[in-house]
């Protein structure tokens, strides 16, 4: 099923996306909220067969990230051209965010760009801006359909004073291989150890396939990011992360890395309760957790031990200058 808001039925990006699904029935709706996230919807059931909804975003194109997130000395803004993710990572806050598992794609990229450009122009001579994509969705996973990166990478290339991070677990890099790598665009991949990824990151490309994609971009001069986020605990976590680092750094050249981060497992308490209600049988949630200030984390001692040991192992591979733990706080 392809749901389309009536006012964008003839938007060029709508027509382009519809062209990819010629056999799908188009169901017009007045606003995407009629279909998405209404009461009496089950995220778990819809995740079996999500539909695509094309919509127009009207306001709030950019969101300030919480204090402490981002690169030191910069101002961080997040934006999402899409709501929900085609992957099914059990630790992700999106599992508890919406009642609906359908994908909403905002087709009016031009309005996002207008807002981004005015922010960049307004910040000239002041604090540099960093734009983060990939929190309410994966930045590249639906690239063949949305052409998001194909549109936004050339756009950001016009503004070398601003930085764009595309955060992803995807291997959909064709759009990136088709263009020269702008120095102000960072493509950042998230990783958990291979066995953990297989257990809790459903529908995602395998770790080695992500690494191959990174390697290909490195060869073409792209600046890359590594986000070991969230750190997932189990009895063998140290060995798992050591194995992961060995795997990663035997494939990805250090010289291609723009930034690296490590982030503990965290969910807002409401999101945690929702996701446990959805998947009580999930081993990830059987570990002991602590609730503090509206957030659910591993107990503080365990979290501290994990962050310290994983960071120590990581810093045997990467220089401290490109290690930014503040890139692993959730922005919203």
Partner 1 sequence: MPDPSLRFVVALQAEARPLVERFGLEPVAESHPFHVYRGDRGWAIVAGLGKAAAAAATAYLHLLSGGETGQVWLNVGIGGHGLRAVGDAFIGHKVQDAASGLCWYPPLVVDLPCPTAPLLTAERTEEEYALPWVHEMAAAGFYPTACRFSTSELVQCFKVISDNPEATLTRATSASLVERLIRENLNRIESFGTALLGLAREAAAPAADPPGYREIVSRWPFTVAEQRRLRRLLQRLAVLAPGSPLPLLASPAAAGWGRDVLSLLETRLAEIPIVIARLVGTPSDALR
Q: Where on the chain is the footprint of partner 1 (CB under 8 A)?
A: 1, 3, 25, 27, 29-30, 34-35, 38-42, 44-46, 48-49, 51, 100, 102, 194-196, 198-200, 232-236, 239-240, 243, 276-288
Nearer to partner 1, 162 or 306 (CB): 306
Least distance in angstroms from the C-beta of 254 to partner 1:
24
Least distance in angstroms from the C-beta of 295 to partner 1:
18
Strand locations in the chain (E): 2-5, 26-29, 52-55, 63-64, 75-79, 82-83, 88-89, 103-106, 129-133, 163-168, 185-190, 201-202, 223-231, 257-264, 266-268, 290-292, 295-297
Handedness of CA 248, 250, 256, 261 (dihedral sign): positive
**Structure tokens given for 17:** 């996306």
Least distance in angstroms from the C-beta of 177 to partner 1:
30
Helices then strands (H, E): number in the chain? 12, 17
Task: Return all residues near 82 (Cβ < 8 A) that are at least 6 apart.
Answer: 103, 104, 105, 106, 136, 137, 142, 146, 148
Nearer to partner 1, 25 or 293 (CB): 25
Nearer to partner 1, 134 or 205 (CB): 205
Nearer to partner 1, 27 or 315 (CB): 27
Least distance in angstroms from the C-beta of 103 to partner 1:
13
Least distance in angstroms from the C-beta of 300 to partner 1:
16
**Structure tokens given for 204:** 């995602």
Least distance in angstroms from the C-beta of 27 to partner 1:
6
**Structure tokens given for 146:** 């949305």
- Assess contact for 164 and 112: CB atoms under 8 A: no
Nearer to partner 1, 101 or 327 (CB): 101
Question: What are 238's strand-pairing partners?
Answer: none
Nearer to partner 1, 286 or 315 (CB): 286
Nearer to partner 1, 215 or 243 (CB): 243
Nearer to partner 1, 102 or 256 (CB): 102
Spatial distance between the Cα atoms of 30 and 40, rounded to a whole number of angstroms: 20
Distances (CA, A) of 128 to 121, 135, 162, 187: 11, 21, 6, 19
Nearer to partner 1, 37 or 168 (CB): 37
Report CA 267 to chain centroid distance, whole Å: 15
Least distance in angstroms from the C-beta of 50 to partner 1:
8
Spatial distance between the Cα atoms of 181 and 166, rounded to a whole number of angstroms: 13
Least distance in angstroms from the C-beta of 239 to partner 1:
7
Least distance in angstroms from the C-beta of 232 to partner 1:
6
Spatial distance between the Cα atoms of 166 and 161, rounded to a whole number of angstroms: 17
């Amino acid at each position: 099923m392809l749901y389309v808001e009536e006012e964008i039925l003839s938007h060029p990006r709508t027509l382009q996306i519809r062209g990819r699904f010629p056999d799908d029935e188009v169901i017009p709706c007045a606003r995407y909220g009629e279909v998405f996230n209404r009461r009496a919807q089950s995220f778990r059931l819809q995740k079996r067969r999500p539909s695509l909804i094309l919509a127009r975003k009207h306001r709030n194109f950019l969101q300030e990230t919480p204090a402490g997130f981002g690169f030191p000395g910069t101002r961080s803004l997040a934006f999402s051209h899409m709501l929900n993710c085609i992957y099914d990572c059990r630790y992700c806050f999106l599992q508890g965010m919406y009642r609906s598992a359908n994908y909403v794609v905002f087709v009016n990229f031009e309005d996002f760009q207008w807002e981004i450009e005015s922010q960049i122009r307004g910040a000239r001579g002041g604090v540099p801006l960093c734009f983060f994509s990939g929190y309410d969705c994966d930045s590249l996973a639906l690239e063949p359909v949305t052409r998001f990166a194909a549109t936004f990478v050339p756009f950001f290339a016009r503004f070398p004073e601003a930085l764009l991070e595309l955060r992803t677990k995807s291997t959909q890099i064709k759009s990136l291989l088709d263009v020269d790598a702008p120095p102000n665009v960072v493509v950042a991949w998230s990783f958990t150890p291979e066995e953990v990824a297989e257990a809790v990151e459903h529908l995602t490309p395998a770790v080695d396939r992500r690494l191959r994609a990174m390697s290909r971009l490195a060869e073409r001069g792209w600046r890359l990011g590594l986000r070991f986020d969230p750190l997932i605990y189990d009895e063998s976590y140290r060995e798992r992360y050591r194995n992961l680092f060995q795997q990663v750094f035997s494939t990805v050249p250090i010289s291609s890395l723009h930034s690296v981060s490590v982030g503990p497992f965290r969910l807002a308490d409401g999101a945690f309760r929702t996701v446990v209600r959805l998947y009580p049988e999930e081993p990830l949630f059987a570990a002991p957790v602590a609730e503090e200030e509206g957030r659910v984390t591993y107990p503080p001692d365990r979290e501290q031990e994990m962050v310290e040991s994983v960071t120590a192992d990581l810093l045997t591979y990467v220089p401290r200058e490109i290690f930014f733990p503040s890139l692993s706080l959730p922005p919203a």
